[in-house]
């Protein structure tokens, strides 16, 4: 493998896009403030200068227009990256994503393709009720979409490169609080396949199944727990549709305990599906009920203390793990 | 019937292009084919051979036939769910079209789309879409790809007047105008969005005036006059192709059948429908051809006979075709990679 | 050629329609597409159009009648033709359609059958046990009732089974690892389609010996598992005693002569149940459960009565048997047995029991030994009452004798204690008037 360099999650994403744009003239980026501004999270910064406004296209604030036009362009043979500034605004474009992008291939009997990459950011930071939501389950629910949610710079670049080569629509969910996260990433092009989870930490006592930012919360908690001789295994799903179930099950067949840790709400959330499958598929290996730790079921308040209370953190994870091993 | 609304709006007048007798008779046959296809579809529906929703194009045939004749064969069409006429006008074989209605494996899209999702990519017919207005940004996106890849093609987006009240219409029009995309928006104004009359749903009764908000050339024409449709669309398509940006045409028409099957039609009287009969585009075209000495009753009857046979064969094909294999359930959801 | 006009489908949700009007009458010439009548559905009144041109030859469904979609409602014949075979209203064609082919069995996670779990104790309480612990226990032949759960809410978890295994290590069979002991992992959805059935027979039988196979009933499976568990985990030993039953039989005859009805009539077994229960009052250890590191004592005496039923054996429980009169025991036992045979047991009938009586006397069996019904500690196996020559005061006399064998769990009951219990039982049955004392 190529030499590894230390880069941020943000720059890893940018590098994947840059490489795709250099390789393939049909790749364009379209979205709000992706060009002159450089992206509100600075993920596309520099690309406008390098590739020009023809390929890095500032759009009106019109999410269904962005997704619809990107999907139509993809049907016309292009490979657009449509950036939705935050996942909250994807709700405006939901009809386009679900009824067009996800359905074009199947609804027309496989005669058309719409390989759009929809990049968007989850995350929060005193942004209150409408700008702090975790909607990955909404997309992961829909046949016809691929949904990924990387936790590290390595996975971010590798998965985005795979998305750029894919003939399927991909909902690529980043996390605003991970953009500054640094990690080792190979120089040059490499791919992380869809539907392959990654064991981010080996352990024997309990498995935490998680993804995106919560992987880091789980890792921190696991390091603390190790001091008390509790060894937690952490499975990073990376892809939410399709999910690499075998890696999840194999871990639980080893540890016999599972905690599903997510930043979205519990009811009908990703954790509901994951816990249900674990309960069924590894029933005979479980030594304790599958447990879940998720965002509390409240519209996120602005006040910093209340916001903090709403999410799982290291202390809550440790407490939960200990309770399950008691 | 035409009105200018903005500086760049042109006025569509009487046909300026001569058409040959051969073309005229071809149009007649295409309109008859659509009429008979729709009647057969309706009958098959009553027999439970066709399921779901069925939106018939009877009374509007002149628009699809005239517009398709005015485009290049590789211009890309996106339509609403009243899409059978557009697919047939594009020259798609009625057999796979009828088989699609029957939900058979030999259908246009393997029985996975049905009435509302007719498509044939090789005919540059990108399909009927069933969420009102949902396909408008797709057409703009297709036009974007033509512009970006410097293709000599335009996108042609057909919608009902009801779709002009939805947000996607405005987002797509704005982006198309902003980027001067090669796309023509054709509004088929059949007077009713389902059962709600235009003036009860739209603040602007003249739909084409909405284009002026985006400085988009637009006009309104009598959609049941096939020659007028042909010449107007040709003019607007040419302008879009030559880089003048998006264009809009509003074609006035009337749907003789209900919105879909089982429509109680409480929103209009039978008298109203009957009063519209003289305006039936197929009858008008027959009369015109007879006036011009290009056709007589015998020729018309002969043409109908030919079309009836074609439709009967399509029905037989659909009847005889197998249903999709159960294994098809899990195909085409994602591209295999 | 005649064409049936059928009740049209006017929507995917329409199943039937009413003819609300016939515009034309029989004999009228009609054009194709001509409106000849009106159909009323739940949602609308719609025109009925003639599907072909011709003559309206028959009207099969009159105004006001409702028929299913696709039912012929009229007949149109080509001009000048008569109807050859009158079409009669037939069942809708749709009804004759074969059911849709089954979808491939993909992706439905709950497709395979899970195995039965032994998580209900004999006293009817649910034993809280993790699936993993349950699997290990099953593989090791451990009675879950013998384990003490240290997990949340007293749940038996892996460590409890392992701790137990260590204590019983000497006699334990070679231990398999939990992963091996656990059932086959469920095949992944994709594999479901291709996986061959897994043989469940423990040993292969030469094919020529197999005359046929009969799947075990649920009850049989439970009996098999429970008895195997009992016999392999409980250290049984057996004590047999002869009981002179002449007095008991006499008392029974007297009481039955006074019985108001058949239900009140006493069986020999009723006397034995009553005697066992009353004797247990003096022997709390025989009435206890073994719970790993402690005895679970009971202040009730519930006697299970083995009842043979079709394809198996049930032990419905007579609650508080020591406090019941003979008449009550007679009546209630008959009801219990009837419910068991009719498969209509009530939840209470299932237990919990603290002692069991199994009687094969009616089959002429002299004596036998029974397998303990866990988690109970003892069971009494009763043979037939027989007239035999006995020596009493150096005289040979004829007496009615019954042999009773007590199986006991040696972990709780030692030989002396078991013997004392049997002696007390014998004393009571041989002086049965004491059974009539106020209880």
Residue pLDDT, tens place only, B141-174: 999 999 999 999 999 999 999 999 999 999 999 9
Do residue C265 and residue C397 come from a single domain? yes
Name the residue with higher pLDDT: B308 or C122: B308
Report yes or no on A133 lying in a domain.
yes
Minimal-distance CA residue of chain A relative to B176:
A69
Query: Same domain, yes or no, for C297 and C428?
Result: yes
Torsion of CA C151, C156, C159, C162, to 10 degrees: 160
Q: Judge if C295 and C334 occupy the same domain.
A: yes
Lowest mean pLDDT among C341-345, C385-389, C417-421, C424-428: C341-345
Q: What is the ipTM of this complex?
A: 0.93
Could you report the per-residue pLDDT of C78-123, keeping only the tens digit for each?
A: 866 665 544 454 444 434 444 444 444 444 444 333 333 446 666 6
Helices first, then strands: H and E counts in chain A:
12, 14
Q: Which residues contact A81 (CB under 8 A, 6 or more apart)?
A: A17, A20, A27, A28, A29, A30, A31, A70, A116, A117, A119, A164
User: Is A112 in contact with B111 (Cβ distance < 8 A)?
Assistant: no
C-beta atoms surrounding C202 within 10 Å: 5
Determine the residue among A63, A93, A108, A242 to mutate to test chain B binding: the one whose Cβ has the most chain B Cβ atoms within 10 Å. Answer: A108
SS (H, E, C) chain B: CCCCCCCCCCCCCCCCCCCCHHHHHHHHHHHHHHHHHHHHHHHHHHCCCCCCCCCCCCCCHHHHHHHHHHCCCCCEEEECCCCHHHHHHCCCCHHHHHHHHCCCCCCCCCCCCCHHHCCEHHHCEEEECCCCCCCHHHHHHHHHHHHHCCCCCCEEEEEEHHHHHCHHHHHHHHHHHHCCCCEEEEEEECCEECCEEHHHHCCCCCHHHHHHHHCCCEEEEECCCHHHHHHHHHHHHHHHHCCCCCEEEEEECCCCCCCCCCCCCCCCCHHHHHHHHHHCHHHHHHHHHHHCCCCCHHHHHHHHHHHHHHHHHHHHHHHHCCCCCHHHHHCCCCCCC
C148 catalytic per annotation: no
Chain B CB within 8 Å of residue A196 CB? no
- C353 belongs to a structural domain: yes
Choose one of C233, C265, C297: the last residue of a domain.
C233
- Answer whether residue A159 is part of any domain: yes
- B149: phi then psi, degrees, rounded to nearest 5: -90, 5
Residues A167, A67 share a domain: yes
CB contact under 8 A, C179 and A253: yes
Cα distances from C166 to residues A110, B30, C4, C136, C172, in angstroms, run: 61, 88, 82, 13, 9
B chain contacts of residue A96, beta-carbon cutoff 8 Å: 134, 137, 168
Is A233 domain-assigned?
yes
**Separation in Å, CA of C225 to nearest CA in chain A:** 18
Residue A59 pLDDT level (bands cut at 50, 70, 90): very high
What is the extent of the structural domain holding A180?
4-186
Instruction: Measure the N-to-C terminal CA separation of chain C; round to a whole number of Å.
Output: 93
Q: Of A193-197, B69-73, C44-48, give the lowest mean pLDDT range.
A: C44-48
Q: What is the pLDDT of residue C208?
A: 61
Nearest CA in chain C to A245: C188
A175 with A217, same domain: the answer is: no
- Same domain for C229 and C254, yes or no, is no
> In the structure, what pLDDT confidence band is assigned to residue A202 with cuts at 50, 70 and 90?
very high
- Tell me, yes or no, if C109 comes closer than 8 A to chain A by beta carbon: yes
Residues from A contacting C (CB-CB < 8 Å) are 245-246, 249, 253, 256, 276-277, 280-288, 323, 326
Q: Which pLDDT band holds residue C294 (cuts at 50, 70, 90)?
A: confident
Cβ B2 vs Cβ B248: under 8 Å = no
Q: What's the CA gap between A42 and A256, in Å, rounded?
A: 42
∠ Cα A94 A97 A99 (to 5°):
90
Q: How many domains does chain B have?
A: 1
CA dihedral B199, B204, B206, B211 (to 10 degrees): -150
Mean pLDDT across the stretch B11-30?
Answer: 78
C179 in contact with chain A, both atoms CB, cutoff 8 A: yes
Interface touch A285/C110, C-beta < 8 Å = no
Q: Are C255 and C422 in contact (CB under 8 A)?
A: no
Q: Which residues pair with C406 in a beta bridge?
A: C239, C380
C121 and C256 together in one domain? no
Q: Are residues A65 and A147 in the same domain?
A: yes
- pLDDT beyond 90 at C184: no
A-B CB pairs within 8 A amount to 143
pLDDT category of residue C169 using cuts at 50, 70 and 90 = low
Query: Which chain B residues are within 8 Å of C45, Cβ to Cβ?
Result: 264
Residue C217 covered by a domain: no
CATH code, domain carrying A111: 3.40.50.970
Percentage of chain C beyond pLDDT 90 is 42
pLDDT at position A92 is 96
Assess B102–A contact: CB distance below 8 Å, yes or no.
Answer: no
Mean of pLDDT values over A234-241: 98
Claim to verify: residue C53 and residue C82 sit in the same structural domain: yes
- Which of A247, A248, A287, A323 has the highest number of chain C CBs within 10 A, making it the mutation to test binding with C? A287
Q: In angstroms, rounded to a whole number, what is the distance separating the alpha carbons of residues C38 and C48?
A: 5
B268 forms beta bridges with: none
Same domain for A130 and A48: yes
Any chains having at least 3 CB pairs less than 8 A from chain A are B, C
Tokens (6 digits) for A13: 């994403």
- Domain-embedded: residue C338: yes
**Neighbors of chain C by Cβ distance (3+ pairs < 8 Å):** A, B
What's residue C198's pLDDT? 39
The reported pLDDT for the residue numbered B261 is 86
Check CB contact under 8 Å for C70 and B327. Answer: no
In a domain, A192, yes or no: no
Q: Which residue has the higher pLDDT, C156 or C116?
A: C156
CA distance A286 to chain C (A): 5
For residue B300, the enclosing domain spans 27-319
C-beta atoms of C9 and B47 within 8 A: yes
Q: How far is C51 from chain B (nearest CA, A)?
A: 7
Instruction: Note whether residue C95 is domain-resident.
Output: no
- The band of C188, judged by pLDDT with boundaries at 50, 70 and 90, is very low
**Shared-domain flag, residues C382 and C326:** yes
Which of A186, A215, A249 delimits the end of a domain?
Answer: A186
* CATH number, domain with residue C341: 3.30.559.10
| A239 contacts chain B (CB < 8 A) | no
SS3 C135: helix
Residues C225-253: tens digit of each pLDDT: 888 888 888 999 999 999 999 999 999 99
Task: Check whether A197 has a pLDDT greater than 80.
Answer: yes
Same structural domain, C71 and C126: no
Q: Is residue B181 situated within a structural domain?
A: yes
User: In this structure, is residue B328 part of a structural domain?
Assistant: no
CATH number, domain containing residue A293: 3.40.50.920
Backbone torsion region of residue B222, taken as left when φ is above 0, otherwise alpha when ψ lies between -120 and 50, otherwise beta: beta
| Contacting residues of B for C101, CB less than 8 Å apart | 326
Contact list, C114 vs chain A (CB under 8 Å): 283
| Residues in chain B whose Cβ is within 8 Å of chain C | 39, 43, 45-48, 51-53, 258, 260-265, 326-327, 329-330
Q: Does C157 sit within 8 Å of A281, measured CB to CB?
A: no
Which CATH number fits the domain that encloses residue B294?
A: 3.40.50.970
The answer to whether position A193 is within a domain reads no
A222 against C291, higher pLDDT = A222
Are A130 and A255 in the same domain? no
Looking at the structure, do residues A16 and A144 belong to the same domain, yes or no?
yes
Q: Which residue has the higher pLDDT, A1 or B314?
A: B314
Q: Is residue B332's pLDDT more than 80? A: yes
Same domain, A11 and A101: yes
Domain that holds residue C332: 237-436
CA dist list (Å): B284 to B59, B60, B224, B226: 11, 12, 8, 9
Q: Residues A152, A26: one domain?
A: yes
Contact A245/C157, CB-based, under 8 Å?
A: no
**Are residues A69 and B137, on separate chains, in Cβ contact within 8 Å?**
yes
For residue C63, what are its two tokens? 């105004």
pLDDT top residue among C192 and B24: B24
Do C307 and C407 share a domain, yes or no?
yes
pLDDT (tens digit, 9 = 90+) per residue, A119-129?
Answer: 999 999 999 99
State the DSSP H helix or E strand holding residue A218, giving kind and residue range, or none if neither: helix A213-226
Are C54 and C152 within one domain?
no
Of A300 and C78, the structure prediction assigns the larger pLDDT to A300
Q: Which pLDDT score is estimated for C402?
A: 95
Mean pLDDT of A196-224: 98
CATH number of the domain to which C19 belongs: 2.40.50.100
Based on the fold, state whether residues A157 and A276 are members of the same structural domain: no
Residues 74-113 of A with CB under 8 A from B: 74-78, 95-96, 99-100, 105-113
User: How far apart (Å, rounded) are the C-alpha atoms in residues C53 and B304?
Assistant: 15
pLDDT of residue B263: 86
User: What is the rounded average pLDDT of the residues A46-50?
Assistant: 97
Closest Cα of chain B to A71: distance in Å? 6
Catalytic residue, from A63, A83, A263, A307: name it: A63
Do A60 and B175 make contact, defined as CB atoms within 8 angstroms? yes
| B171: contact with A, CB 8 A cutoff | yes
CB-CB under 8 Å, C33 with B47: no
CATH of the domain at C125: 4.10.320.10
Per DSSP, the residues of C275-288 read: HHHHHHTT-TTTT-
Which stretch of A82-91, C58-67, C141-150, C395-404 has the lowest confidence by average pLDDT?
A: C141-150
Residue B117 forms contact with A (CB below 8 Å) = yes
Q: Say yes or no for a CB contact (<8 Å) between C33 and B39.
A: yes
pLDDT-above-90 percentage for chain A: 98
> C417 and C273 share a domain?
yes
Nearest chain A residue to C135, by CA: A284
Q: Is residue A19 annotated as a catalytic residue, yes or no?
A: no
Say whether A326 and C152 touch across the interface (CB within 8 A). Answer: yes
B43 in contact with chain A, both atoms CB, cutoff 8 A: no
Q: Considering only CA atoms, which of B10, B48, B16, B4 is closest in space to residue B231?
A: B16
Mean pLDDT along residues A294-317: 96
Verify that C251 and C399 share a domain, yes or no: yes
Count of the separate structural domains present in chain A: 2
Residues A158 and A255 placed together within one structural domain of the fold: no
Q: Residue B331 and residue A110: Cβ atoms within 8 Å?
A: yes
**3-class SS of residue C229:** helix
In this predicted model, which residue has the larger pLDDT, B7 or C103? C103
Q: Does A191 reside within a domain?
A: no
Confidence of residue C394 (pLDDT cuts 50, 70, 90): confident
> How many angstroms separate the CA atoms of A284 and A278, rounded?
10
User: B51 and C45: CB-CB below 8 Å?
Assistant: no
Residue C36 belongs to some domain of the structure: yes
**Could you tell me if C202 and C134 are in contact, meaning their C-beta atoms sit under 8 angstroms apart?**
no
Whether residues A214 and A176 share a domain: the answer is: no
Number of domains observed in the structure of chain C = 3
pLDDT of residue C343: 77
The pLDDT of residue C105:
46
Q: Are residues A37 and A182 in the same domain?
A: yes
pLDDT of the residue at C80: 61
Chain C residue closest in CA terms to A278 = C109
Q: Is residue A112 part of a domain?
A: yes
**Chain B CA closest to residue A165:** B337
B274 in any annotated domain: yes
């Amino acid at each position: 493998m190529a030499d590894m360099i230390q880069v941020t999650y943000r720059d890893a994403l940018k590098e994947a896009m840059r490489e795709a744009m250099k390789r393939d003239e049909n790749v364009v980026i379209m979205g709000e403030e992706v060009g002159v501004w450089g992206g509100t999270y600075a993920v596309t910064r520099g690309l406008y200068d390098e590739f020009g406004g023809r390929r890095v296209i500032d759009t009106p604030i019109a999410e269904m227009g962005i997704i619809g036009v990107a999907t139509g362009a993809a049907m016309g043979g292009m490979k657009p990256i449509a950036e939705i500034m935050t996942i909250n605004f994807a709700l405006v474009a939901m009809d386009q994503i679900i009824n067009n992008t996800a359905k074009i291939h199947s609804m027309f009997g496989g005669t058309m393709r719409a390989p759009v990459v929809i990049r968007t950011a989850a995350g929060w930071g005193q942004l209150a009720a409408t700008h702090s939501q975790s909607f990955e389950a909404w997309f992961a629910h829909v046949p016809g979409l691929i949904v990924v949610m990387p936790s590290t710079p390595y996975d971010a670049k590798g998965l985005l490169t795979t998305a750029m080569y894919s003939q399927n629509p991909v909902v690529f969910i980043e996390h605003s609080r991970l953009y500054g996260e640094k990690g080792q990433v190979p120089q040059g092009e490499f791919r992380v396949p869809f539907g392959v989870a990654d064991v981010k930490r080996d352990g024997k006592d309990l498995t935490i199944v998680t993804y995106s930012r919560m992987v880091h919360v789980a890792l921190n908690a696991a390091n603390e727990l190790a001091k008390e001789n509790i060894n937690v295994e952490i499975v990073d799903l990376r892809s939410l549709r399709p999910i690499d179930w075998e890696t999840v099950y194999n871990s639980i067949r080893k540890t016999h305990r599972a905690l599903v840790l997510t930043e979205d709400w519990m009811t009908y959330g990703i954790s509901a599906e994951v816990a249900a499958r674990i309960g069924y598929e590894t029933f005979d290996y479980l030594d304790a009920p599958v447990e879940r730790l998720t965002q509390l079921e409240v519209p996120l308040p602005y006040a910093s203390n209340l916001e903090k209370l709403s999410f799982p953190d290291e202390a809550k994870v440790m407490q939960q793990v200990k309770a399950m091993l008691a | 019937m035409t009105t200018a609304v903005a500086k760049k709006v042109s006025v569509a007048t009487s046909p300026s292009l001569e058409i040959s007798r051969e073309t005229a008779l071809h149009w007649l046959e295409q309109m008859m084919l659509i009429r008979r296809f729709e009647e057969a579809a309706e009958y098959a529906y009553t027999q439970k051979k066709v399921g779901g929703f069925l939106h018939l194009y009877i009374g509007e045939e002149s628009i699809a036939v005239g517009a398709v004749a005015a485009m290049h064969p590789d211009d890309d069409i996106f339509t609403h769910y009243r899409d059978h006429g557009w697919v047939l006008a594009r020259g798609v074989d009625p057999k796979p079209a009828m088989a699609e209605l029957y939900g058979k494996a030999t259908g246009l899209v393997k029985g996975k789309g049905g009435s509302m999702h007719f498509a044939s990519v090789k005919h540059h017919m990108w399909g009927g879409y069933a969420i009102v207005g949902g396909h408008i940004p797709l057409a703009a996106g297709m036009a974007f790809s033509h512009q970006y890849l410097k293709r000599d093609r335009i996108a042609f987006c057909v919608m009902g007047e009801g779709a002009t009240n939805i947000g996607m219409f405005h987002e797509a029009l704005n982006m198309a105008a902003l980027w001067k995309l090669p796309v023509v928006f054709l509004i088929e104004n059949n007077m009713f969005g389902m059962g709600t009359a235009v003036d009860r749903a739209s603040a602007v009764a003249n739909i084409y005036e909405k284009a002026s908000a985006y400085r988009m050339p637009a006009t309104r024409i009598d959609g049941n006059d096939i020659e007028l449709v042909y010449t107007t669309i040709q003019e607007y398509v040419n302008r879009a192709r030559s880089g003048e940006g998006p264009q809009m045409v509003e074609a006035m028409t009337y749907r003789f059948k209900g919105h879909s099957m089982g429509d109680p039609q409480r929103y209009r009287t039978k008298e109203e429908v009957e009063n519209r009969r003289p305006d039936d585009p197929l009858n008008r075209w027959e009369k015109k051809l007879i006036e011009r000495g290009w056709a007589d009753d015998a020729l018309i009857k002969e043409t109908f006979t030919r079309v009836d046979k074609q439709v009967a064969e399509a029905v037989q094909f659909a009847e005889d075709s197998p249903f999709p294999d159960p294994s098809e359930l899990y195909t085409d959801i994602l591209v295999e990679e | 050629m005649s064409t049936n006009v059928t009740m049209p489908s006017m929507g995917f949700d329409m199943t039937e329609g009413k003819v609300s009007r016939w515009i034309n009458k029989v004999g009228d010439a009609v054009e194709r597409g001509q409106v000849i009548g009106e159909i009323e559905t739940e949602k609308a009144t719609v025109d009925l159009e003639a599907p072909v041109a011709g003559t309206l030859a028959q009207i099969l469904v009159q105004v006001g009648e409702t028929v299913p979609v696709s039912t012929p409602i009229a007949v149109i014949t080509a001009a000048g033709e008569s109807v050859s075979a009158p079409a009669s209203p037939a069942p809708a064609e749709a009804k004759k359609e074969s059911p849709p082919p089954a979808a491939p069995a993909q992706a439905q996670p709950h497709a395979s059958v899970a195995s039965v779990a032994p998580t209900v104790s004999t006293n009817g309480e649910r034993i809280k046990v993790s699936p993993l612990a349950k699997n290990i226990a099953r593989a090791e032949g451990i009675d879950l009732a013998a384990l003490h759960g240290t997990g949340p809410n007293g749940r038996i978890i892996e460590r409890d089974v392992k701790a137990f295994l260590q204590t019983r290590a000497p006699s334990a069979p070679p231990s398999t690892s939990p992963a091996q002991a656990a059932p086959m992992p469920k095949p992944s959805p994709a594999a479901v389609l291709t996986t061959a059935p897994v043989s469940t027979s423990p040993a292969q039988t030469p094919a020529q010996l197999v005359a046929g196979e009969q799947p075990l009933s649920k009850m049989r499976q439970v009996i098999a598992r429970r008895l195997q568990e009992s016999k392999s985990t409980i250290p049984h030993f057996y004590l047999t005693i002869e009981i002179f039953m002449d007095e008991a039989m006499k008392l029974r005859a007297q009481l039955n002569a006074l019985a108001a009805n058949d239900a009140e009539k006493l069986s020999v077994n009723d006397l034995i149940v009553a005697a066992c229960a009353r004797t247990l009052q003096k022997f709390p250890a025989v009435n206890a459960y073994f719970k790993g590191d402690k005895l679970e004592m009971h202040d009730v005496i519930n006697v299970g009565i083995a009842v043979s039923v079709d394809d198996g054996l049930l032990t419905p429980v007579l609650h508080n048997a020591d406090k019941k009169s003979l008449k009550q025991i007679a009546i209630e036992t008959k009801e219990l047995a009837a419910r068991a045979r009719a498969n209509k047991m009530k939840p209470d009938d299932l237990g919990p029991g603290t002692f069991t009586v199994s009687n094969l006397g009616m089959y002429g069996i002299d004596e036998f030994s029974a397998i303990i019904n866990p988690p109970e500690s003892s069971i009494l196996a009763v043979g037939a009452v027989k007239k035999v020559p006995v020596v009493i005061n150096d005289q040979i006399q004829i007496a009615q004798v019954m042999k009773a064998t007590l199986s006991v769990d040696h972990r709780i009951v030692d030989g002396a204690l078991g013997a004392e219990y049997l002696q007390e039982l014998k004393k009571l049955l041989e002086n049965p008037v004491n059974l009539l004392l106020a209880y």
